[in-house]
Amino acid sequence: MSALTIRMPDDKYLRLKALSQRRHTSVNQRIDEMATLLLAEADA
């Protein structure tokens, strides 16, 4: 597994963190799910 560092505005990160907490997941898992959706869309 690879590690990835990303930069995003603080307000966007805080919203993503709050969403992750509400869904009882990690920010890492949210990012992984978004990447999966993006790749599936690209493959379609």
Structure confidence at residue 5 (pLDDT)? 95
The Cβ of residue 27 has, within 10 Å, a number of other Cβ atoms equal to 14
Q: Give the phi and the psi of residue 13 in degrees, each rounded to 5.
A: -60, -45
Q: Which residue has the tokens 């949210």?
A: 30
What's the pLDDT tens digit per position in 27-41?
A: 999 999 999 999 999
Q: Return d(Cα 12, Cα 16) in angstroms, integer.
A: 6
What's the pLDDT tens digit per position in 15-24?
A: 999 999 999 9
Q: Which residue has the tokens 């505005």?
A: 9
Helix, strand or coil, per DSSP, at residue 4 = coil
Model pTM score: 0.79
Cβ(22)–Cβ(16) under 8 Å?
Answer: no
